[in-house]
A and B are shown apart, each in its own frame.
Chain A
Amino acid sequence: MPIVPFDTSMIAAISAELLLLLLAGVILAVDMIWGSKQKDHLGWITAGGLLFILLISLIFTRPEPVERLIFGGMLRQDWLTFTFRLIFLFAAAITSLLSINLKGITGRGEYYALLVVTTLGMSLMAASADLIMLYLAIETTSIPLYILAGFMKSDDKSTESGIKYFLFGALTSTVMLYGFSLLYGFSGETNLYLLSERLTGGEISIWVLGGAALLVLVGFSFKVSAVPFHFWSPDVYEGAPTPITAYISTASKAAGFAVLVRVMITVFPEISLYWTSILAVVATATMTVGNMVALAQKNIKRLLAYSSIAHAGYALIGLVAFSELGIASLLFYLAAYVVTNLAAFAIVVFFANTVGSDEIADYAGLSRRSPGLAFAMLIAFLSLAGMPPLAGFVAKFYVFAAAVESGLIWLAFVGVLNAIIGLYYYMTVLKVVYLYRSDDDEVPIAVSRPAAIALGVSVIAVLGIGIASGPWLGWALDTASSLF
């Protein structure tokens, strides 16, 4: 993998990142000039700006036919970078729409600017091809997210969620960094692709290399909230402002998978037998713990938190399969999961804005108060549960197919069992929504335009990915083939 010398076409390759930086500056400037009036406009500016950047990167950052390392080997321009960049920008745009009517936020300029900066970090995470850049990108993603999780300074749960996220995140990223320093020490290189060339040939003992791989996996497991580094996620999800919860559970998790896939496949193909076995165990534990504990939840945000842990487990199956189909199914799974979970959290935002509660019991009678919202919830939750013809079903199908293709029939079986458990608790929530009655049956749920747009787009995406899955899978396969 040669490092291409600098030319101006590389500027186009990172145009999305440059524009994101510019957007963050514009938001801060607008906030400074307009002061406290016109606060809603900031959200629209952010969402509009992100949408614009999404279009720009769709047109101008398409990867070249041959993958290449750019900027002195710091970034890699390939389909993985491109695909994940689009996912992050989409999730960020939806999140900023959901945030417009959010209560309890002071300093909206900073809120949106941090959201944009963390998106910038994620985009670089997916693109990083160098340990230094990777660490920098991970921290550029994490540090704004710590602040955003604790953004509601007058709310006990939010401050608590911020500090828990920070302490867990700082610890795991430091352990991961120690692993990075060892990898650098084994090879004398920081570039992932040069590093893997140096590591092949078996000069480094498998045990030492495996140890470094384990340290690195700690950091990535935190990002994707895989067992046993999942403890932070329910607390953080419950306490953080709901749009931020949506963002952490979708884009941040997807970013974690992006680096997980890139680093494991690029740097450790020699010992793939070992780390796939470890990840198989982790995936099993993650699915099972997530689904089992979700059964007992009373709070919708915590329920979705445990469900998102379980989904990380399903997605890991794709990586464990360690084949092109496996990676493609993982990417497809992430795309489907991101849009579905955004839809689910959009409903939680709606509901909390009107009712001021996140308890599942309070969702009783939702189908009478707001049939449209209840129907959106039906689609989102059935997709999470993996019901055909929605996106979640197709995604699970491909992941399990990839596992079977790689001879991991037991893992596919565990996944199917878990999907059945999952179906139970998603159905429990839908039962409350559709069958139970409440005293407020007559009071409709207030609908705010920006959040309605966000919900509408997400639900359409869930249906679109589910029904017309062919082209999306083709895209995922193209992306996966750029890695091997």
Chain B
Amino acid sequence: MPEDFLPIAVLIILATGLSFTILLLGQIFGPRRPNPRKGSPYESGMRPYGKGQRRVPIHYYLIAVLFILFDVEIIFILPWAVVLRDLGIFGLIEMGLFVAILLIGFVYAWKKGALEWD
């Protein structure tokens, strides 16, 4: 029903309104003393070097892919943890098997040198 969306609409209006107000207030009251340091891209206080866009070593993708694969398993572990007490010893063994299979994969990736960074 449309009226169910009313809170969301209010939230959207408030959120946009608030951010615009803050920006506007900053524009009006903030002192403006530009210098080159301030205009440069933010890089944790370090002096930026090179272009912002550059090639990332292909190795990065391997690590990222491994991360995705092992990270997504949490989606199975989290619901399991919630009902662990109800499942009892059976659930523990099941999850042990699941993690063991993952662990084999992890050890294999490790042994094959997928985690070496050189």
Instruction: Give Cα A32 to B112, complex, Å.
Output: 8
In the complex, whether B104 has a CB less than 8 A from a CB of chain A is: yes
Determine whether B85 belongs to the interface, using a CB cutoff of 8 Å to chain A.
no
Q: How far is the CA of A25 from the CA of B111 in the complex (A)?
A: 14
Cα distance, A25 to B101, chains bound together (Å): 9
Q: Give the distance to chain B from A19, nearest Cβ to Cβ, in Å.
A: 15
A28 at the interface (CB under 8 A from B): yes
Enumerate chain B residues within 8 angstroms of A28, measured Cβ to Cβ: 104, 108
In the bound complex, CA of A32 to CA of B111 (Å) = 8
**A residues in contact with B112, CB < 8 Å:** 32
B111 surroundings in chain A (CB, below 8 A): 32
| A24 to B, closest residue via Cβ | B104
In the complex, which residues of chain A have a beta carbon less than 8 angstroms from the beta carbon of B108?
28, 32
**How far apart sit A235 and B67, CA to CA, in the bound complex (Å)?**
32
The interface residues of chain A, by DSSP majority, are classed as helix
CA A28 to CA B104, docked complex, whole Å: 10
Q: Which residues in chain B, 103-118, are within 8 Å of chain A measured between CB atoms?
A: 104, 108, 111-112
Size of the A side of the interface (Cβ < 8 Å), in residues, is: 3
Interface size on B, residues (CB 8 A): 4
A184–B23 CA distance with the chains assembled, in angstroms: 48
Q: How far is the CB of A71 from chain B (nearest CB, A)?
A: 12
Min CB distance A25 to B, Å, is: 6
Query: In the complex, A308 Cα to B63 Cα: how many Å?
Result: 39
Report Cα–Cα, A28/B107, bound state, in Å: 11
Within 8 A of A (CB), among B74-118: 104, 108, 111-112
Instruction: Provide the residues of chain B in CB contact with A25, threshold 8 Å.
Output: 104
Nearest to A32 among chain B residues (CB) is B111
Q: Which residues of B have CB within 8 Å of A32?
A: 108, 111-112
Bound together, the chains give a CA A28 to CA B101 distance in angstroms of: 13
Q: How close is B28's CB to chain A, nearest CB, in angstroms? A: 51
Chain A residues, Cβ within 8 Å of B104: 25, 28
A315 to chain B minimum Cβ distance, whole angstroms, is: 35
For residue A117, give the distance in angstroms from its CB to the closest CB of chain B. Answer: 11
Q: How far is the CB of B45 from chain A (nearest CB, A)?
A: 42
B 9-45 binary contact with A (CB < 8 Å = 1; else 0) = 0000000000000000000000000000000000000
Q: Bound complex: CA of A28 vs CA of B112, how far in Å?
A: 11
Complex: chain B residue closest to A25, CB-CB: B104
Interface membership of chain A positions 18-48, coded 1 if the CB is closer than 8 angstroms to chain B and 0 otherwise = 0000000100100010000000000000000
Q: How far is the CA of A237 from the CA of B45 in the complex (A)?
A: 55
Query: Chain A residue with minimal CB distance to B112?
Result: A32
Bound-state CA distance A25–B108 (Å) is 10
A28, B109: Cα distance in complex, Å: 11
CA of A119 to CA of B42 in the docked complex: distance in angstroms?
52
How far does the alpha carbon of A25 sit from the alpha carbon of B104 in the complex, in Å? 8
- Find the B residue at minimum CB distance from A28: B108
Which B residue sits closest to A6, measured CB to CB? Answer: B90
Complex Cα spacing A79 to B8, Å? 55
A111 to chain B, nearest CB (A): 14
B111 nearest CB neighbor, chain A only: A32
Bound together, the chains give a CA A32 to CA B105 distance in angstroms of 12
B54 to chain A, nearest CB (A): 25
Closest to A107 in B: B112
Give complex CA distance A25, B100 in Å. 12
Q: In the bound complex, how far is the Cα of B104 from the Cα of A32, in angstroms? A: 12
Residue of A nearest to B108 (CB): A28
A25 to B97 Cα, complex, angstroms? 14
Residue of A nearest to B104 (CB): A25
User: Would you give the shortest CB distance from B87 to chain A, in whole angstroms?
Assistant: 14
Cβ distance B16 to chain A, nearest Cβ, rounded Å = 34
What is the distance, in angstroms, from B90's C-beta to the closest C-beta of chain A? 10
Min CB distance B46 to A, Å, is: 38
CB proximity of A203 to chain B, nearest CB, Å = 26
Shortest distance in angstroms between A39's beta carbon and chain B's nearest beta carbon?
16
State in angstroms the CA–CA spacing of A28 and B110 once bound together: 13
Measured CB to CB, the closest approach of chain A to B108, in angstroms, equals 6
Q: Nearest chain-A residue to B90 (Cβ)?
A: A6
Bound-complex Cα distance A99 to B22 (A): 67
From residue A23, how far is it (CB to closest CB) to chain B in Å? 13
Shortest A146–chain B CB gap in Å is 14
6 closest cross-chain pairs (CB), A and B: A32-B111, A28-B108, A25-B104, A32-B108, A28-B104, A32-B112
A selection of 5 A-B contacts at a CB cut-off of 8 Å is: A25-B104, A28-B104, A28-B108, A32-B108, A32-B112
